[in-house]
Amino acid sequence: MEFGRKEGENMKVKSNRAKFGDWMFVLLCVFVAAICLIPMLNLLAKSLSSTNYLIRHEVYIWPKGFNLDAYMKVLADPKYLKAFAWTAFLTVICTIISLTMTALCAYPLIFPGLKGKGIINVMITITMFFNAGTIPNYLLMQQLHLLDNPLVLIIPSCLSIYNMIIMRSFFYGIPDSLRESAEIDGASFFTILLKIYVPLSKPVFASLALFYAVGRWNGYGDALMYIKNKDLYPLQLLIYNILNNINSVEVATQEGFNTPGLSESLKSATVMFSTVPILLIYPWLQKYFIAGVTMGAVKE
């Protein structure tokens, strides 16, 4: 009886410790979520607040003097709409090309009989640690006649070695028996990739598509270095110029934002205008993560 009582007390102590650990984990998650959300709520509140409150710096995470003037200015300006449409088109094209290049690079490296496989892997890995640098890259783009060319925003970043390694590792997890069976049936190299590996790799394709899309949508460094034509500016570069006071005075004057409060409201609305669309992709892709896992389940 005494042994059973002690065992019950030990189980109760362990249960209490587990509950305490769960609560600590929940509090940590809430704290991290608050750190991520508060800046966004502050921007949203500023974009929806009246000028008087913004000038007095009274807006924090809740809008005061609710109005949509800043958003109306942004949506009515063809400059922002054009940059938004161009960035969306660029994101879709870059994501498709990048996923194609990643799959075509990762797939051959899973074959054990590939000649020079070890050397290829070493050369690919080296590119993750060493880069030519800004000036050599600029001279290379110049020699390739890619300066002020839309292709300069697509070709140099069409393949991420890190993402390729992730896809290669996922391909390794697919049973070799499926590939060998297809080879016995006479399936070609590309048929096996398209009919077996791609359908079973939906989770990794969805994840990498999100990585590539977010990277391209938020990218502005390549356009800043290689693009001078303002018609080819992606949305993030346009916002970069405004937030760094490169064109903020000119923009504020042109748009009628001739006071600090209105200018601050315009900046906040512009940032929200560029942030919300990419945030909407996350829940949309979440269902494809789950569907890909269930459809790609393989038992041997």
Q: What is the pLDDT of residues 242-266, one digit of tens each?
A: 777 544 444 444 444 445 555 677 7
User: Where along the chain do its domains lie?
Assistant: 2-55, 78-254
Cα dihedral 175, 179, 184, 189 in deg (nearest 10): -170
**DSSP assignments along 39-93, one per residue:** HHHHHHHHHTS-HHHHHTT--SSS-SS---HHHHHHHH-HHHHHHHHHHHHHHHH
Q: Which residue has the tokens 């598509």?
A: 209
Instruction: Indicate if the pLDDT at residue 148 is higher than 80.
Output: yes
Please provide the average confidence, as pLDDT, over all residues in the chain.
80
8 Å CB contact between 174 and 203: no
Instruction: Give the mean pLDDT of 30-53.
Output: 85
pLDDT band at 9 (very low <50, low <70, confident <90, very high): low
Instruction: Give the mean pLDDT of 182-210.
Output: 87
| Tens of pLDDT, residues 52-108 | 787 777 788 888 888 888 888 878 878 888 988 999 999 999 999 999 999 999 999
Which fold does the domain 78-254 belong to in CATH?
A: MetI-like fold (1.10.3720)
